[in-house]
Structures are given as C-alpha cells and as structure tokens.
C-alpha cells in the first residue's frame, strides 16, 4: 500500500490556529501539501502559517458565515491553483447540563459545529469537481459516538455531523469526492483545559490505552484520509480515542485455585 503523500494537493483546514487544526496544517505541509489555514483567532493563526512558510496562507474565517467560505475557497484557488481537501476541524465546546443549556447556547454550538461544516461541504464541491475529485474530512468527537453527560448541545451537533457525513458521502461519491469522519477522544488541546486530567501513561484511565492523545496522532489519521492512500474509503468512521468509545475497562478478574 502506498504511503501517505500529499504532494501537489491543496487543502483548507478550519480551526487551524491551535490544537488539532494547527497539527494537521503542519503535517499536511510536511507531506507536500499547500494549506489554507482559517480561524477566528487571527494572531495565533498567522503565527502558525508563518512558521509553516510559503506553502501556507492564513485567512480570518467564521465558519458559520457563508460569505467567509467563498473567501476561503477563492484564497485556495487564487493562491495555489486548485482545491483537493477540506478538513472541517473548527468547533466550539461548552459543558452545560441539559437543564441549564440555553437556546442561544445550543444554537451557537450548532452554527459553528454543524452549520459551519455544512457550508464548507457545499462551498468546496465545485472546485473539487474541477480538480477531478477530492477528500472531505469532518472532525466529530467521542461525543458523536456515545452519550457524555454535560454535552447535550455539543454531542447533538457532533452526532448531526456524523449523519450529514454519511449523506454527503453518498451524494458526492459519484463526483469523486470522498467524505469521512474522525472521532477524537480526549486529546491534549485547549478544548480539554476545563478537565482535570494528567498527561502521560495512566492519565486517562477511562480509555484502554490509559492516556490522553496528542494532536499529532489525530493529524496522522486525517492526513491518511486526505491522501490517495485512502482512495477507496468514503462514508467511514474512524475513532481516535485510545479505545474509550469501545466501552469501559473491565475489572481484572481474580482467579481462585
């Protein structure tokens, strides 16, 4: 099987100013891609793009704004000549019990996490068709494969993304556009700053691998799905959660003689 090679590909990665998005952008560039990084965090986004160099551009972009998507696509095509990959990575997360979740808060999370991805998918279809096909990678969450207390709005948005990805894979497959979904678990990014967890072995006993993951480990999976090494994969769900969604770690049985 060929290795992961993104030479000649042009990608848009949203939420790329920090965390998983920044790791994805750096890895994509290392693998030969040219990358448009987008985010609402302007200073951090510019810093990441500058560190990557000539193969990267940064654009301020609110993913819930349809006109912003047109600008992102225009940047990719005008700067690099084509568009092959979209990584819908941008998301917001607030842990709120169901009975305390407001309608406005619910709507805000849906606008960024689900509507934003929907607008992105629509925006890239034509340029990907012109490029002869493409790959869309939607970043969901462990909260998109199982219920997690306190994540009513976030989880609903990520379950919605899961369903939308399936439909998009079916409708866009005949155009040569693949759509797959990645489900990160507890990853060492600013999004888990509110959680009291330790890094390193044993820091995440809720996962069979017993540790928090790194953004780079998620980026490797995303790069594979963006590359031609995954050319016959679409509509797939890939969890990157240390096994947390597989179930609870069982108590080690004792054996009597």
| Rounded Cα gap, residues 118 and 171, in angstroms | 13
Edge to edge, the sheet with strand 34-39 lists 56-60, 34-39, 10-14, 85-88, 134-139, 177-184, 237-240
* DSSP for 93-156, written as a single string: ---B-GGG--HHHHHHHHIIIIIHHHHHHHHHHHHHHHTT-EEEEEE--GGGTS--TTBHHHHH
| Rounded Cα gap, residues 64 and 85, in angstroms | 19
Q: Is 151 a catalytic residue?
A: no
| Rounded Cα gap, residues 144 and 151, in angstroms | 10
- ∠252-256-257 over CA atoms, to 5°? 140
Q: Which residues pair with 134 in a beta bridge?
A: 177
Q: Which residues pair with 35 in a beta bridge?
A: 11, 56
Tokens at residue 175, please? 């155009």
- What ranges in 135-191 are assigned the alpha helix state H? 152-172
| Rounded Cα gap, residues 80 and 68, in angstroms | 18
E strand or H helix that includes residue 136: strand 134-139
| Rounded Cα gap, residues 219 and 238, in angstroms | 12
Spot the catalytic one: 151, 154, 183, 232.
Answer: 154
Catalytic positions: 154
């Amino acid at each position: 099987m060929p290795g992961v090679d993104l030479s000649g590909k042009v990608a848009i990665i949203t939420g790329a100013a920090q965390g998983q998005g920044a790791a994805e952008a750096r890895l994509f560039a290392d693998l030969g891609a040219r990358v448009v990084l987008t985010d609402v965090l302007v200073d951090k986004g510019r810093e990441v793009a500058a560190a990557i160099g000539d193969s990267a551009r940064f654009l301020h972009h609110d993913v819930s704004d349809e006109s912003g998507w047109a600008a992102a696509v225009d940047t990719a095509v005008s700067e690099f000549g084509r568009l092959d990959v979209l990584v819908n990575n941008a998301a917001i997360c607030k842990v709120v019990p169901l009975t305390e979740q407001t309608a406005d808060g619910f709507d805000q999370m849906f606008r960024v996490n689900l509507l934003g991805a929907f607008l992105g998918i629509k925006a890239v279809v034509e340029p990907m068709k012109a490029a002869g096909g493409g790959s869309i990678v939607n970043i969901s969450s462990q909260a998109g494969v199982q219920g997690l207390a306190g994540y009513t709005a976030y989880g609903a948005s990520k379950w919605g993304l899961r369903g939308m990805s399936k439909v998009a894979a079916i409708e866009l497959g005949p155009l040569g556009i693949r759509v797959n979904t990645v489900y990160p678990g507890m990853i060492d990014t600013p999004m888990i700053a509110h959680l009291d967890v330790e890094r390193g072995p044993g820091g995440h006993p809720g996962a069979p691998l017993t540790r928090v993951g790194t953004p780079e480990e998620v980026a490797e999976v995303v790069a594979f799905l963006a590359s031609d090494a995954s050319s016959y994969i679409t509509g797939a769900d890939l969890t990157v959660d240390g096994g947390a969604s597989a179930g609870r770690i069982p108590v080690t049985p004792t054996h009597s003689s």
